[in-house]
Chains A and B, each alone.
Chain A
């Protein structure tokens, strides 16, 4: 269930991630837990209590420091071009909806097929995909919504097939 932590904003994870993971370790996986975590992630995106500057002092310019250098570092940091608040909200909502769909799919597939390679691949693919959704959206920001959906859908399919191959190989070893 730890992969659901990636649904939370980066600044939130930087502040609470470790201790949150420690609490999660003590929980039994259940549908209720998944819903609680998804609800918490939606709340953390909609009502952020942790500002990025509180969790990342490196990027916080002090008065008199070279703010241009800091701005360049922010621009060049992993994550690509900065998203507007509206684009961030869209990316976060999309990530949460995809994670919700993948978690539901995983639970349904587990009920039907138990823990086969195809089911395992769903969880691995969704972790990889949802954790990088905001970065991907930053590079697709100038594309139309249709193009964004098609590109992301194709990417998800490729990641799933790759993970399925890896899981099949792992079962043969």
Chain B
């Protein structure tokens, strides 16, 4: 059982939005971006174009969990940035993916 106030940085809980959530966190890793900019960046980085419904479904989850936060803006295109918790969640997921990738490569090499 999880202790009270214990951080949960597991993106898998986002269900069908876990992959879009990961892509959003990667997109925000270097600088704050607004929705359109994230869509463009994710398309360049991952070759996937997220629809607005999917993008904002994942954004709302990330914001509700404190992984990202909006920045003040006069423009209606509100930029978001990664929080410290979001950065830890991203690092944890990338480390886990890297471990799987390294294991897969090692096994392929020895096959």
The answer to whether A and B come from one shared complex is yes
Interface residues of A (CB under 8 A from B): 12, 15-16, 18-24, 26-27, 32-33, 36-41, 43-44, 49-50
A27 to B51 alpha-carbon distance, docked (Å): 9
Output the nearest chain A residue to B59 by Cβ-Cβ distance. Answer: A16
Within 8 A of A (CB), among B41-78: 51-57, 59-61, 63-64, 76-78
Interface residues of B (CB under 8 A from A): 34-36, 39, 51-57, 59-61, 63-64, 76-78
A45 to B56 alpha-carbon distance, docked (Å): 13
29 A-B pairs in the complex with CB atoms less than 8 angstroms apart: A12-B60, A15-B60, A16-B56, A18-B76, A19-B34, A22-B76, A23-B35, A23-B39, A23-B77, A24-B52, A26-B36, A27-B51, A27-B52, A36-B51, A36-B52, A36-B54, A37-B52, A37-B53, A38-B53, A39-B53, A39-B57, A40-B53, A40-B56, A40-B57, A44-B57, A44-B60, A49-B60, A49-B64, A50-B64
Residue in B35, B36, B51, B60 whose CB lies within 8 Å of A50: B60
